[in-house]
Every structure is written in structure tokens, then in C-alpha cells.
Structure 1
Amino acid sequence: MTVFPLPAFQDNYIWIIKDKDSSGIWAVDPGDANIVLNYCQEHDKHLEGILITHHHKDHTGGIAALKQQSSCAVYGPKHLTDLVTHPVDDGDRVTVYSRVFHVIATPGHTLDHLCYFNDTHPSPSSRPWLFCGDTLFRGGCGRIMEGTPELMLAAMNKIASLPDNTQIYGTHEYTLANYRFALSLEPDNTALIDAIEMCKILRANQQPTLPTELRVEKNTNPFLRTHIVALKNQAAQQLNETPANHVVAAFSQVRRAKDIFS
């Protein structure tokens, strides 16, 4: 099985899951139906299934048309009754070809946000996969639009508990902007500096910076590093606030500092 992105809109990725023994594909968060349909037509594929992480239109806008064209299965938050054929929630499982994905609820960006995690290894070289929508990006995390800092921190902790070699498939190409903020908090972080240089090269060659690896995020992503005193103190300074002592308040300061960063 392989995963690759189809770029959509200004900075979205629709992740496509393909199996060498199948004429079908699965799509993750297809906000634009035409992009998926064009791929299927050009490569003689048919759409078998869709995974939805949350309800925002740039992740769901193409689903109605895709269902009409392909009668595919759609897995996602149970309240999306007009779109979802197989409602799922925390702890459920979804089988995609040879891989079984565990559904992980990660409310924070939205209250219905789900991630899909696979740790079954068809071959010794395979690594775990996480389709995480707008919960975690390379170098960043989603804005807290419906949830709370407490919920978002809990989502970060859930992801941080996964194996370090997990491949992180976020849905937006925000990396270089995220890294500018991360560097403002940790200007001497050599792992971050190295990651920035690598991603600049990727983007100069019009290559995606995703997927990333969880161990990379733990070393560079400020939202997985809000326990580090110097980092959270710098965020508080950017807000002209006293550094928070409580873990949720410290996370909130880092998130709010990012929200106003330019």
C-alpha cells in the first residue's frame, strides 16, 4: 500500500491510499470532488472509500458528488448524517485494504475531530500511519475553533503517545509558516534549524513537506513541547504575559502566541 497527496485549493492535501493489488483507491478528506475524479479517470481507478476527519468544508466539500459518482463507503463523525455511510467514533476500527485503522477522537480544532491510526505492519519496513486532519501539522497544530486548550492538549498527548516512527499525514502545507513561529520560541534548536532548511528545499522544488515523522515533531513542534520552560516562557513574553505554571495554561499561551504571530 502507498499513500500520496493530491493538492487542492491553496494549501490542502487530499491523501490517496492505493493498493497494488486493487483497481480502487481511498481518499482522506476530499474537499474537492473534481480532483479525485480526474485522478480516477486518468489512472483508470475507482473510488472505494473515504475517511473524514472533521466537518469543515475544505475537508468534506467534495463528498456528496463523489458518493453520487461512485457509491463509495464514507467513514467519519456520526453527526454528518448526510455524508457518512459508516459513522465512527473513538475506539472504532476501519479496514482499508490490508491495514486496520483505529479511530482516535481528538476534539480541539473542532469538537468532532477524528484521527485514523494504523499500526499493523504488512512488511518489516512498514511504519505506522496517522491521518490527523487539522489536529497536527508539521511544526504546528490546528487553531482551537470549537474546543478548548484542555481538549487540544489532550489531543497532542494522545498523538505523542504513538510510536516515534509514526508517519504523520496532516492536511495542510503550513510548514514553513509554522516553523517561523517555532524558531521564534527556540532559536537555538538545531533539530528545528535542520528541518527548516530541508523543508525550504522541498518547497523550492514544489515537493510536499508531508508526511512528517512523530519523532521529528517531538523535537521541533512547539505544540508537542509546551513542557519546555524556555519555550513556554518565550511564548508568554510574546503575549506580554506572566509565564503560566499550569500545563493547560502554558499550552494555551503557546497557542495564543501563534494566533497573533506574524
Structure 2
Amino acid sequence: MITNVARGVQAFTSNAFLVEGDRTVLVDTGANFDAEPRIRERDADLDAVILTHTHPDHVGNLEAVKEAFGVEAWGFDTGQPGVDHAIADGETVRIGGDSYTALHTPGHKDDHLCFHSSGAGVLFAGDLVFQNGSFGRTDLEEGDRGKLIESIDRVRERVDEHLAEMHTGHGPSVTTNPYHDIELAGRAARMG
């Protein structure tokens, strides 16, 4: 079960996906809202936080969530505040009841990760790609359009038309042909 606990929040935040299962994980924490009661109302026993990247809108609630649930955070770079454990490129991580492969996907931010489970048909895309072929900003510090295009290509080559769900850092999740949205993002990023 995947629930966006940031759904309906009017403040500037990223999505924050609670993935329930034998290892209940919050993928990104969002910012500028109280995440704790939204997690507790799911009756979820949170085991860990996994971060797609450490922009403030994705980690604003990190310390509060870690303290409230007594959990630690995993991300690409333990040099970033709040990241307790590193996830290496290509490493397998357990999210909910499925195994996901971590893909280092810089271009929006150097520590950006996507998480793909071929078994579940799910991709957590962070701010790499969004619905309708939108893609992550490259005008912020550490942004790099060339790297972003390479990262989109890498994800597109990793997933296939059987991808059922793409959960993005902002906006709605894509549950109808998300592979097409990834292809569109690759083309759009090359045109920009």
C-alpha cells in the first residue's frame, strides 16, 4: 500500500510516500506540514525514511519524523544533514514488501536517487521526471541538464512498458503508461 501523506497540503512541499509492508518506509518526508499525525492515522509502524534527495522541500520534516518514530534515514550522501546511512548506486533496498534497485540519477541534485522494483512495477522518481513529460529543474545549485538527460535515459533503459506506477516528487502519481511519460521527459529535456 502506497499513500502520499502530503496529499492536500497547501504549503510548499514534496510528496511523501508511506509504503506499508514488512518494512514500512517513508520515501521523502515533505516539508511545511506536520507529517507525524498523517503517518499515525495510517496505523503504520514506520521502520525507516528513504530519501530521493535532500532539497529542503523533500527533507523539511526529516528530523521531526525521525524523532517521532525513532527511525533513521537512508540516502545517497551521508555528508548531507540528517542522512544516517548511505545507499549506493545499484544497491537493493527493501521498501514495503518489495525489493527496489537504487539508481543514482544526478542532474537535479548530485545526491538524487530513483528506486525501481521490476517485481512490483513501481518507480519512485523523485524530482527526475514528472507526469506528462515534465522533468526536474536544472537551474538550482548542482543542477546539470546534461547529467539530467543521462539520468532520464538510464531510468528509461531500466524500466519497460510493464511499469505500472511512477510516484513523483511533485504532482500526481502516474498510473497509466508511466513509461511514456519518461520517454516524453527525455525528449523534452533535450529540447530545453
What residue identity is the alignment partner of 2:18? I
The 5 A counterparts of 1:35-184 are: 35-120=34-119, 127-139=120-132, 140-144=134-138, 145=140, 146-161=142-157, 162-166=159-163, 167-173=165-171
Partner SS state of residue 131, structure 1: strand
- After superposition, the C-alpha distances for 1:160-206 in whole angstroms (9 at most, x for unaligned) are 11122322111112xxxxxxxxxxxxxxxxxxxxxxxxxxxxxxxxx
Residue 106 of structure 1 deviates from its aligned partner by 0.6
Unaligned runs of 5+ in 1: 121-126, 174-208, 227-249, 256-262
Q: What is the distance in 2 between the residues matched to 1:165 and 1:69? A: 37
Secondary structure at the aligned position of 1:141 is classed as coil
Q: Which amino acid aligns with 1:31?
A: G
Structure number having the greater helix percentage: 1
3-state SS of the aligned residue for 2:18? strand
Q: Percent identity?
A: 22
* 1:34 shift after superposition: 5.3
Q: TM-score normalised to the size of structure 2?
A: 0.83
Partner of 1:259: none
TM-score by length of 1: 0.63
Q: Give the structure 2 partner of residue 15 of structure 1.
A: 17
Per-residue deviation, 1:115 = 0.8
- Residue 35 of structure 1 deviates from its aligned partner by 3.8
Letter in 2 for 1:138: Q
C-alpha distance in 1 between matches for 2:178 and 2:40: 34
Larger radius of gyration: 1
Distance change (3 Å), C-alpha of 1:79 and 1:50 = same
> Which deviations, in whole Å up to 9, do the C-alpha atoms of 1:42-95 show, x marking residues without a partner?
333332111101110110111111111212131102234541222112111211
Partner amino acid, structure 1, of 2:137: R
Pairwise mapping of residues 222-261 of structure 1 onto structure 2 (< 5 A)?
Answer: 223-225=185-187, 251=190, 254-255=191-192
Q: Number of aligned residue pairs: give it.
A: 183
Residues 226-258 of structure 1: per-residue CA shift (max 9 Å, x gap): 5xxxxxxxxxxxxxxxxxxxxxxx81xx23xxx
Equivalent position SS for 2:46: strand
The equivalent of 2:30 in structure 1 is: 31
Name the Cα RMSD after superposition.
2.3
Instruction: Give, as a single letter, the amino acid of the residue that structure 1 aligns with 2:160.
Output: P
Q: Distance in 2 between matches of 1:117 and 1:152?
A: 17
Which stretches in structure 2 are left out of the alignment for 5+ residues?
Answer: none
Q: 1:112 to 1:218 in 2, by over 3 A?
A: closer
Cα distance between partner residues in 1 of 2:78 and 2:42: 33
Residue of structure 1 equivalent to 2:173: 210
Contact 1:163 1:214 in 2 (8 A): no
The 4+ residue runs of structure 1 with deviation greater than 6 A are none
* Whole-Å separation in 2 of the counterparts to 1:97 and 1:215: 22
